[in-house]
């Protein structure tokens, strides 16, 4: 099979297209012909050698996210058969419950090989059926960004109709968070540094979009928009550069799901606003298979469609990474495997 690998993570040009022997499924594993994959911010910092969790394994096949069809199953597999349309879970060994070291050690496109390949072997317990109405390209958008947004809003935020949700920027996680918040009947305030994207966020149901470049004290704007109360749930993807303002933009007793580091890692955190405002601040790492399945049921029931910015051919994977790096995208950057 053909696959892209990262012999040493020194930038996008270190990606190499190589031939590897076709893999075969072991017991309780499925072999998937990957039809599409998608990129996340993590994939960019992985190829650039800046992923903080751990150095990727040598000759890593990158990308956590992919969808395709089952072509063979190993012994003992009961949930899948050849022909099924599936996606892999970000963590291959986290079917449910609380996260643990074994789950973290099974993260695709980092700790273990990922989906930027023609074929992939997945754990039966780390695989889900795709929502019926989605294409492979749309399905490939789900495993990291969508499950993360679902975890933040539903599991951590306990979102309900009438809540106000703050989403930051127009990347993969934030757009899914906007879509899910609307699906639950919540109101959405978004931030964005791009005017044209702000219009698109409004068209998707954000009732206000604040430009974080021209309004650096956007937390005050959020306070005004919510009558001084603040939002119920903040989907925090900015990290060090946004967290202090997220504390102030979130209502007393509100919840903040700490997800990302778009403004870079490392900062001193002042605990006072957390204490004074009685905030619930919870970090998260994507989500488990049960969350993925619950999310897929909601996606199917509401015929929700992931927002795909651009689809690149398999051979042009490097261009997909460059597009992601440019931050011109709105939603997901996808690779079609043919
Ligand atoms: N903890 C987890 O399990 C987990 C899972 C998924 C992602 N993440 C993290 O979450 C973050 C987002 O991931 P992603 O894949 O959705 O990224 P992405 O698609 O690359 O998002 C990029 C977008 O973020 C926005 N942005 C950049 N700087 C910003 C700022 N200072 N304030 C607000 N928005 C800003 C920009 O939108 P505009 O152009 O509209 O401004 C940009 O286009 C990353 O740090 C990623 O590592 C963590």
14: domain CATH number?
3.90.180.10
How many helices and strands, by DSSP H and E, does the chain display? 11, 15
Asked if residue 301 belongs to a domain, the reply is no
Residue 51 pLDDT level (bands cut at 50, 70, 90) = confident
Ligand 1, atom nearest to 259 Cα: 1
Residues in the chain: 338
Asked if residue 193 belongs to a domain, the reply is yes
pLDDT reported for residue 53: 72
Asked if residue 299 belongs to a domain, the reply is no
> What's 226's domain CATH number?
3.40.50.720
pLDDT tens, residue by residue, 144-170:
999 999 999 999 999 999 999 999 999
Asked if residue 249 belongs to a domain, the reply is yes
Asked if residue 61 belongs to a domain, the reply is yes
Residues 8 and 97 in one domain: yes
Asked if residue 217 belongs to a domain, the reply is yes
Q: Token pair 């309900």 is at which residue?
A: 160
Residues 34 and 114 in one domain: yes
Cα 171 to averaged position of ligand 1 atoms, centre (Å): 5
**Percentage of residues of the chain with pLDDT beyond 90:** 93
Angle between helices 172-183 and 289-301 (to 10 degrees): 60
Residues 67 and 53 in one domain: yes
Residues 134 and 174 in one domain: no
Q: How many domains does the chain have?
A: 2
Residue with CA at minimum distance from ligand 1 atom 20: 41
Asked if residue 243 belongs to a domain, the reply is yes
Asked if residue 230 belongs to a domain, the reply is yes
Residue ranges with strand state E in the chain: 2-5, 16-19, 29-38, 65-73, 85-88, 119-123, 127-129, 164-168, 187-192, 208-211, 231-236, 250-258, 280-283, 308-313, 332-336
* pLDDT of residue 333 exceeding 80: yes
pLDDT tens, residue by residue, 61-73:
999 999 999 999 9
DSSP-assigned letter for residue 112: B
Which mutation among 107, 146, 237, 321 tests ligand 1's pocket best, with the greatest number of atoms within 8 A of CB? 237
- Among the listed residues 218, 231, 109, the one whose alpha carbon sits nearest the alpha carbon of residue 177: 231
Q: What is the mean pLDDT of residues 249-261?
A: 97
Residues 122 and 207 in one domain: no
Q: What is the mean pLDDT of residues 175-201?
A: 97
Residues 134 and 193 in one domain: no
- Among the listed residues 163, 162, 151, the one whose alpha carbon sits nearest the alpha carbon of residue 295: 151
Domain span including residue 96: 2-141+306-336
Residue 285 pLDDT level (bands cut at 50, 70, 90) = very high
242 lines ligand 1 (CB under 6 A): yes
Q: What is the mean pLDDT of residues 214-232?
A: 98
Residues 51 and 110 in one domain: yes
Residues 236 and 328 in one domain: no
Residues 94 and 122 in one domain: yes
pLDDT reported for residue 175: 98
Tokens of 243: 């967290």
Residue 191 pLDDT level (bands cut at 50, 70, 90) = very high
Tokens of 255: 């919840």
Residues 101 and 37 in one domain: yes
Residues 120 and 204 in one domain: no
Cα 4 to averaged position of ligand 1 atoms, centre (Å): 24
Beta bridge partners of 229: none
Q: What is the pTM assigned to this prediction?
A: 0.98
61 lines ligand 1 (CB under 6 A): no
Q: What is the mean pLDDT of residues 13-39?
A: 98
Residues 332 and 260 in one domain: no
């Amino acid at each position: 099979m053909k696959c892209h690998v990262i012999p040493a993570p020194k930038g996008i040009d270190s990606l190499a297209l190589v031939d590897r022997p076709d893999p075969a499924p072991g017991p309780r594993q499925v072999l998937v012909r990957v039809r599409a994959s998608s990129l996340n911010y993590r994939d960019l910092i992985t190829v650039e050698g800046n992923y903080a969790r751990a150095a990727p394994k040598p000759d890593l096949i990158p990308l956590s996210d992919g969808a395709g069809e089952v072509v063979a199953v190993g012994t003992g597999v009961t949930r899948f058969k050849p022909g099924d349309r599936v996606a892999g879970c970000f963590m291959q060994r986290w079917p449910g419950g609380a996260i643990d070291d074994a789950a973290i050690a099974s993260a695709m496109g980092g700790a273990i090989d990922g989906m930027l390949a023609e074929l992939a072997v997945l754990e039966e317990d780390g695989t889900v059926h795709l929502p019926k109405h989605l294409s492979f390209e749309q399905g490939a958008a789900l495993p990291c960004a969508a499950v993360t947004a679902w975890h933040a809003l539903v599991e951590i935020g306990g979102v309900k109709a009438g809540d106000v949700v703050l989403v930051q920027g127009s990347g993969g996680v934030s757009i899914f968070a906007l879509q899910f918040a609307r699906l639950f009947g919540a109101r959405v305030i978004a931030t964005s540094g791009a005017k044209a994207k702000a219009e698109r966020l409004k068209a998707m149901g954000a009732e206000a979009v604040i430009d974080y470049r021209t309004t650096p004290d956007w937390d005050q704007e959020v306070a005004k928009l919510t009558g001084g109360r603040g939002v119920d749930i903040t989907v925090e993807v900015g990290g060090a550069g946004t967290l202090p303002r997220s504390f102030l933009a979130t209502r007393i007793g509100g919840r903040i799901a700490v997800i990302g580091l778009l403004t870079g890692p490392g900062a001193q955190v002042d605990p006072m606003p957390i204490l004074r405002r009685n905030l619930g601040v919870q970090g998260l790492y994507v989500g488990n298979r049960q969350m993925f399945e619950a999310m897929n049921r909601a996606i199917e029931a509401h015929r929700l469609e992931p927002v795909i910015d651009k689809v690149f051919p398999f051979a042009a994977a490097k261009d997909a990474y460059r597009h992601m790096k440019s931050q011109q995208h709105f939603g997901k950057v996808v690779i079609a495997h043919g």
